Amino acid sequence: MRPQHSPSPQELLQNVLSQKAETQQMPYKEKAKWPIRQAVLDLAQDFPTLLIKQENYTYPSGSTFMLLKAEGTLPMVYQGVKYNIPVCVWLPEQFPWTAPILYVVPTPDMIIKPRHSFVDPSGLAMTPYLRHWTYSQSNLCDMAHDTSIQFGQDPPLFSKPPGWTSSPPPQQPPRPSPTQHPPPPHMGAYDTFHAENPMRSPNSSFSGPPGIPRPSSSSAMQNGYAEPHQMQESIWSGAVAAAGNSFSHQHQPRAHPSPPPVRPPEPPKSRPNLDGVFKEAAIQALTRRLQGSLSAMNATAASEVDSAMETQAKLAQRGEALESAVAGMQAERRGLESTVLELSGKTTALTRWLAENESKLPEGTEFDADTAIVPADSLSRQALEAQAKDMAIEDALYALDKALQHGTITSEAYLKQVRLICRRQFFVRALGHKIAAQQNSFRGR
């Protein structure tokens, strides 16, 4: 027999969301079909363990609709080990403006943790993300990731203890039609689970999406991947063992010896209090987690303080360097201001001298620059001549550089003339140093 082909999420969504209004079975609005298609495809891509299907969903009020659902497992990490939690996500008719409906679907060998923080006995999960669902900011992928994190902090399922028995549920009435009323409020947790969770049936067991095998206990624990019933055996092994031993001792058959003469009858023993055991285990797990978080926060704070101290030391060094640089610049500014004042005074004096002596020059007489400065003595005359020769040689060297740049002379002639002129400049400057030393010696006397 050829296996039946399971449609892909794209094919299924194309078929169910492209139907016309007169033949439409899905209650979703036309403007919501495209957001629903994108959200479901993103969810199937991020979580391949969820299989997209369509099925009738009956609300507690008795209304029944054909809705889309994602059925499979969500991964969670508890104490460093990866587990899978069987879930079913329904998309109501007002989705995406209304939050999806999330159910935890335990297998026959698992039970829901009593008094769970956000999972009720029927398996309905109401995480903080679902309670604060917002159309413009919430989506299925973020909801699934948040649910995985919440499951890792507070696992919703655990394996049934050895010898676990529960009162048989009453015969299930037929699913109510839209005109019937919801189940009566006096039903117990087990009955409520059967009445409200569309995925729960007494003789059905959860099977994940096709193509994902269930690992055995040994291989699952070696690979860090375990089924939910294996997860709970590792999480609540101590609590379940204690409860199971107590339960088995209470129901162990006993012999009936003759009662003592004066002995009051023993009160009936109650069932083991699993809530207290779970509460103690949860407190211990939360304490370890808080201690680890506090140690990590202390280490992070210490490293941040050390980094801040190093930064403060570097800033202090740079502040000192900037202060010294500012002081140097201020001193240089004061020196320049004094130099400017001195040059301004000399300029004023020179302007005044020119104004006084220009009138003394006879009219029609040309000014001779050579006779403008009269040396005071022979040493001053020699110093003036040496300075004039040095400046003339500098002018000659400048003219040679320009000639070489324009190609007027060759490089050989340039080098020859520069060598001769520099030799002459050396003797002129040596003579000027001797004259200056002689003048200083005369001034010292």
**Does residue 288 lie in a domain region?**
no
CA 358 to each of CA 349, 354, 367, 420: distance values in angstroms, whole numbers, following the listed order:
14, 6, 10, 42
- As a whole number, mean pLDDT of residues 281-289 equals 89
384-395 exposure pattern, b = at least 16 Cβ within 10 A, e = fewer: eebeebeeebee
Decide if 267 is inside a domain.
no
Average the pLDDT over 319-331 and give the result.
94
Question: What confidence category does residue 425 fall into, taking pLDDT thresholds of 50, 70 and 90?
Answer: very high
Looking at the domain assignment, is residue 311 inside a domain? no
Structural domain count, the chain = 2
Question: In this model, does residue 123 exceed pLDDT 50?
Answer: yes
**Is residue 312 a part of any domain in this protein?**
no
Residue 5 banded pLDDT, cuts 50, 70, 90: low
| 407 belongs to a structural domain | yes
CA distances from 355 to 342, 359, 389, 411, 429 (A): 20, 7, 31, 50, 36
For 179, what's the count of Cα atoms within 13 Å in the CB-facing half-sphere?
Answer: 0
Tokens, residue 233? 């055996």
Q: What stretches of 105-247 adopt beta strand conformation (E)?
A: 110-112, 124-125, 157-159, 225-226
* pLDDT average, residue stretch 260-271: 49
Nearest alpha-carbon partner for 154 in 278, 237, 239? 278
Is pLDDT of 244 > 50?
Answer: no
Residue 252 is predicted with a pLDDT of: 42
pLDDT at residue 23, rounded to an integer = 46
Q: Are residues 224 and 82 in the same domain?
A: yes
Question: CA 126: distance to chain centroid?
Answer: 27
Please report whether residue 342 resides in a domain: no
Q: Is the peptide bond before 27 cis (omega within 30 degrees of 0)?
A: no
Neighbours of 430 (CB within 10 A): 11
Residue in this structure with the two tokens 């007027």, named with its chain if needed: 408
Under the banding of pLDDT at 50, 70 and 90, the label for residue 358 is confident
Cα–Cα distance between 38 and 98 in angstroms, integer? 16
Q: Which of 103, 75, 109, 114 is nearest to 229 (CA)?
A: 109
Of 195, 216, 247, at which residue does a domain stop?
A: 247
pLDDT at 209 over 60: no
pLDDT confidence of residue 129: 93
In angstroms, how far is CA 62 from the centroid of its own chain? Answer: 46
pLDDT of residue 10: 75
Cα–Cα distance, 370 to 320 (Å, whole number): 56
- Which of residues 247, 263, 279 is at a domain's end? 247
- Segments in 358-410 forming alpha helices (H): 378-406
Strand duo 101-104 + 110-112: pairing: unpaired
DSSP 97: T
Alpha-carbon span 205 to 106, nearest angstrom: 8
The angle, 0 to 180 degrees and rounded to 10, between the axes of the packed helices 274-357 and 237-250 is: 160
User: Is 243 within 8 Å of 161 (Cβ atoms)?
Assistant: yes
pLDDT of residue 20: 53
- Distances in Å between the Cα of 399 and the Cα atoms of 125, 185, 406 are 98, 116, 11
Which amino acid does the sequence have at 105?
A: V
Assigned token pair, 54? 């369509």
Cβ(213)–Cβ(52) under 8 Å?
Answer: no
Chain center to CA of 288: 25
Residue 289 lies inside a defined structural domain of this protein: no
Using the predicted structure, report yes or no on whether residue 302 has a pLDDT greater than 80.
yes
Query: Considering the domain boundaries, does residue 257 fall inside one?
Result: no
CATH of the domain at 29: 3.10.110.10
Q: Cβ atoms within 10 A of the Cβ of 102, count?
A: 23
* Rounded CA separation 100/127 (Å): 11
pTM over 0.75: no
Buried b (16+ CB within 10 A) or exposed e, 117-154: ebbbbbbbbebebbeebeeeebbbeebbeebbebbbee
Give me the count of residues in the chain: 445
Domain of residue 119, residue span: 9-166+177-247
pLDDT above 70: percentage of residues in the chain = 69
Report the alpha-carbon distance of residue 175 to residue 183 in Å, rounded: 10
Q: Of 247, 281, 297, which marks where a domain is finished?
A: 247
Task: Judge contact between 159 and 233, C-beta under 8 A.
Answer: yes
* Partners of 159 in the β-ladder: 110
Contact 130, 139 (CB under 8 A): no
237 or 399, higher pLDDT:
399
Q: What is the arithmetic mean of pLDDT over 311-337?
A: 94
Q: What pLDDT shows up at residue 77?
A: 87
